Amino acid sequence: MRWKDMRESANVEDRRGQGGGGRGGFRLGIGGIIAVVVISLLLGKNPLEMLGLVSQFTGGGQVNQQQAAPAANDEGKQFAARVLGDTEDTWTKLLADNGMAYKAPQLVLFNNPTHSGCGQAVSAIGPFYCPADSTVYLDLGFFRELNQRFGAKGEFAQAYVIAHEVGHHVQNLMGISDKVHRLQKGKGEAAANALSVKLELQADCLAGVWGHYAQSRGLLEAGDLQDALTAAQAIGDDTLQRNAGRNVTPDSFTHGSSAERMQWLQRGFDSGQMQDCNTFGGKG
Ligand SMILES: [Zn+2]
């Protein structure tokens, strides 16, 4: 994948190495401890009890797991910024063709718990898009996991992950996510999950649509699409459940089976038309 030929986005915020704007990353320095003790004494409370309370709220037990900041503007950041920049160019054009303006999302890189508009972002959740602040949250360590744990290697597999989250942003701009969340209310778990699967498969398809244009501009190389399909296969719900030693229960799927995820990614990639990503329209 010729990602170095892609335009670098200015919408990346690098929070790696930061303790985080969220509560989990908050650390009480010695000054803070003295302040708590003074306040406790003023209020007539036991200082140790109050310190315990404070550390409960601030995840005090995680203090030693602080991840360091990598070199500024390292290759990982450049990769994410260039893939994001390329999605901006493609979606600006595609939405303009449909008479809509594209307002690009932000992308936050983090490696310690950090604040998001959807609550605390932690690495274990994996990459996600938060509609409340139109931001993609990404710990680049996920790409290592994708490679080592899920056996999905290659830059285009990583780009697919970013493009999938950007796909959720497009759904948000078009009001699709809101509609689905409204439909999910009051539904049983299986029906709500089925709607979630349609939303996720559509994001896969939209990632494929972006890939179509990256391909047509000569930015992909032989084997790239296969790498992304391997990733889609690896993170299908049935495969994840099977690999976790659990029974495969389709009612509990939230992202779709491996076969479906590959199929919709491929479909978007082949067509390049967002109209072909109607996962909600019955058969298709
Ligand atoms: Zn998703």
DSSP annotation of 118 reads T
The confidence score (pLDDT) of residue 51 equals: 57
Please give the pLDDT value at position 72: 85
Domain count, the chain: 1
- Distance (angstroms) between ligand 1 centre and the Cα of 99 equals 25
Cα separation of 191 and 204, whole Å? 20
Can you give the pLDDT at residue 32? 60
User: What phi and psi values does residue 84 have, to the nearest 5 degrees?
Assistant: -60, -45
Instruction: Count Cβ atoms below 10 Å from residue 113 Cβ, excluding itself.
Output: 25
Q: Chain-wide mean pLDDT for the chain?
A: 88
Torsional sign, CA 89, 17, 74, 110: negative
Ligand 1 centroid–CA 240 distance in Å is: 15
pLDDT digit string (tens) for 147-203? 998 889 999 999 999 999 999 999 999 999 999 999 999 999 999 999 999 999 999
d(CA 26, ligand 1 centre) in Å: 29
Give me 236's structure tokens: 């299908």
Domain with 188, as residue range(s), is 3-281
| Spacing, Cα 125 to ligand 1 middle (Å) | 12
Q: How many CB atoms are closer than 10 A to CB 153?
A: 15
- Quote the ligand 1 centre to 127 CA distance (angstroms): 8
Q: Mind listing the pLDDT tens digit for each residue in 191-238?
A: 999 999 999 999 999 999 999 999 999 999 999 999 999 999 999 999
Please state, in angstroms and rounded to a whole number, the distance separating the CA atoms of residues 135 and 129: 6
Provide the 10 A C-beta neighbour count for residue 142: 18
Q: Which two tokens stand for residue 36?
A: 């708590």
**CA of 147 relative to ligand 1 center, distance in Å:** 19
Distance separating alpha carbons of residues 266 and 280, to the nearest angstrom = 17
CA 235 to ligand 1 center in whole angstroms: 11
Alpha carbon distance 33, 233 (integer Å):
49
How far away, in angstroms, is 35 Cα from ligand 1 center?
Answer: 43
Q: What separation in Å is there between the alpha carbon of 227 and the centre of ligand 1?
A: 18
* CA–centroid distance, residue 149 to ligand 1 (Å): 19
Alpha carbon of 203 to ligand 1 centroid (Å): 6
- Mean of the pLDDT values across residues 115-138? 94
Q: d(Cα 54, Cα 33) in Å, to the nearest integer?
A: 10
HSE (CB half, 13 Å, CA atoms) of 161?
Answer: 30
Residue 253's pLDDT is 94
Is 283's pLDDT higher than 60?
no
Compute, in angstroms, the gap from residue 134 CA to the centroid of ligand 1.
Answer: 14
Residue 197, token pair as written in the block:
């699967």
47-58 vs 30-43: helix crossing angle, rounded to 10: 130
What pLDDT digit, counting tens, does each position of 83-94 carry?
999 999 999 999
Question: pLDDT tens digit string along 24-74?
Answer: 444 555 556 666 666 666 665 566 655 555 544 444 444 446 888 888 889
Q: What pLDDT score was predicted for residue 30?
A: 58
Ligand 1 centroid vs 200 CA: distance in angstroms?
A: 5
Q: How far is the CA of 45 from the centre of ligand 1 (A)?
A: 47
Pairing of strands 135-138, 119-121: unpaired
CA of 39 to the centre of ligand 1 (A): 45
Ligand 1 centroid–CA 124 distance in Å is 15
* pLDDT at 282 exceeding the cut of 90: no
Per-residue model confidence (pLDDT) at position 52: 52
Cα(236) to centroid(ligand 1), Å: 11
